[in-house]
Amino acid sequence: MKPEDRSVVRRSAPPASKTTPLVTPLFPSVVYCAEDADALDDVYEGRASGYSYAREGHPNASLLADKISWMEGVEGGIITASGMAALSAVFLALLDKGDHIVAGNQLYGRCLRLLTKDLPRLGFDASLVDAADVSAVEAALRPETKLLLVEVVANPTLRLADIKGLAKLARQRGLIFVVDNTFTTPRSFRPFDLGADVVVHSVTKLLAGHSDVTLGYVAAKDEARNTALYDAVTTWGLNASPFDCWLAERGLNTFDLRFQRAQENAKALADHLRGLPGVLRVLYPGEDDHPDRALARDLLQGNYSHMVSFELDADRAGVNAFVRAAGNIAFAPTLGDVGTTISHPASSSHRALSAEERAALGISEGFIRVSVGVEEIDLLKRELTAAVAAASAAKA
């Protein structure tokens, strides 16, 4: 370019390089420039691959979606701004006014709110049932039921959904079977292999793994449904930022290592907690004392993931003492971070429920959920031993 044609405002092409970056480049651009109108036509009509406007897709979202889709064994997954955005896309894309939803009664709290408060306002009705009980799900079906939504492992009680039974029911009754695979991740469970039609993730949690992005993922086995999901994400503006996708894709590089270590730690901690005075019960899927151990063993095949819940013999004062004595483990109402976090459902995720409603789910004041991270196991055992002892001392 001639010097008189230059301007600091005009972007220059990157310098020529025979070498390429090792690391995934970040593409913050909102728009993509085309050679001419015909070239733009080609992209819009799918005759050529390319991007036009970031709400409709960008390379960082494509790269991240592609990795998760590969893990799930599906094609055409879509990245959204959060797990809730992915769930919203499912309802907005796949339902029509008047359609009825049947969903697990222990879903993620915001999802329960969406189903019971917001969707009815828009003309979709939902019934909530125990997802471990196929006959309860069947009894909740209506002629207008179109969609069945469950999580594989429920928060915070770690109950299992009867995925095989539900998949069969969904097939018989022509329902769209949607599985939220956040807690299990594709390394513990692959819903498409057992008959799910749509899989949803909060990528915010284990997949991204560092508590520095909110992101979601949704994919359908059926191509027409994937197109509908893509259109909903693009039209309702549920898309994700390139930087978040870039961070999450970077996080995935270590996913297998993080998951394996966190899972080993969780199993060891469950065994350790069970032996501590002041711990009334421990919940870890697949263990002999877990209410859904048979389902857990059949579905998860030994990969029981990284969540451990347990019940302290404690009131609020005991819980406060526990949390303060576990001071080096973050007390934070999230999960899936690389480091261990503890949460207290009665004052966070399940605070909107009455004490009776919580009791019906088995969530007492002393109920603690641990999202186990990748720290040294001896450190975690020491910290939790001290915290449980502090809770017991507060009771005495």
Ligand X SMILES: *Cc1c(COP(=O)(O)O)cnc(C)c1O
Residue 342 interacts with ligand X (CB under 6 A)?
no
In the set 99, 162, 180, 197, the catalytic residue is 180
Nearest to 233 by CA among 221, 250, 215, 210: 215
Active-site residue, selected from the candidate residues 67, 99, 108, 284: 108
Q: How far is the CB of 98 from ligand X (least distance, A)?
A: 25
Active site residue 205: yes
CB of 191 to ligand X, least distance (A): 13
**Contact (Cβ atoms closer than 8 angstroms) between residue 262 and residue 303:** no
Retrieve residue 213's tokens: 């992005």
State the nearest-atom distance from the C-beta of 92 to ligand X, in Å.
Answer: 15
Q: Which is the catalytic residue, given 67, 146, 190, 205? A: 205
Q: What is the distance, to the nearest Å, from the Cα of residue 378 to the centroid of all Cα atoms in its chain?
A: 28
Instruction: Give min distance, CB of 202 to ligand X, in A.
Output: 3
Q: How far is the CB of 248 from ligand X (least distance, A)?
A: 11
Q: How far apart are CA 265 and CA 396, in angstroms?
A: 30
- Pull the structure tokens for residue 313: 């013999």
Does the protein bind ligand X through residue 305 (CB under 6 A)?
Answer: no
Hey, which residues between 148 and 187 contact ligand X (CB under 6 A)?
Answer: 151, 180, 182-183
Across the chain, which distance is largest between two alpha carbons, in Å?
84
Is 244 catalytic? The answer is: no
Please choose, from the candidates 249, 234, 251, the residue with its C-alpha nearest in 3D space to the C-alpha of residue 26: 249
Catalytic residue among 55, 110, 168, 250: 55
- Comparing every residue's Cβ against ligand X, the nearest one is 83
Binding mask 82-121 for ligand X (x = CB under 6 A): xxx-----------------------x--x----------
- How many chain residues interact with ligand X (CB under 6 A)? 14
In sequence order, what DSSP letters do the residues of 95-159 get, joined into one string? --TT-EEEEETTS-HHHHHIIIIIHHHTT-EEEEE-TT-HHHHHHH--TTEEEEEEESB-TTT-P
Measured from the CB of residue 87, what is the shortest distance to ligand X in angstroms? Answer: 6
* Radius of gyration, alpha carbons of the chain: 23
| Contacting range for ligand X; rule: CB under 6 A; set: 65-73, 79-87, 312-320, 321-329 | 79-87
55 included as an active-site residue: yes
- Taking CB under 6 A as the binding criterion, the range among 1-9, 198-206, 321-329, 365-373 that sits at the site for ligand X is 198-206
Determine the Cα–Cα distance for residues 43 and 258; give it in Å rounded to an integer: 38
Instruction: For residue 305, give the amino acid letter.
Output: S
Angle between helices 255-274 and 377-395 (to 10 degrees): 40
202 lies in the binding site for ligand X (CB under 6 A): yes
Nearest to 343 by CA among 358, 363, 323: 323
Residue with Cβ nearer ligand X (272 or 344): 344
Q: List active site positions.
A: 55, 108, 180, 205
* Positions that interact with ligand X (CB under 6 A): 82-84, 108, 111, 151, 180, 182-183, 202, 204-205, 214, 216
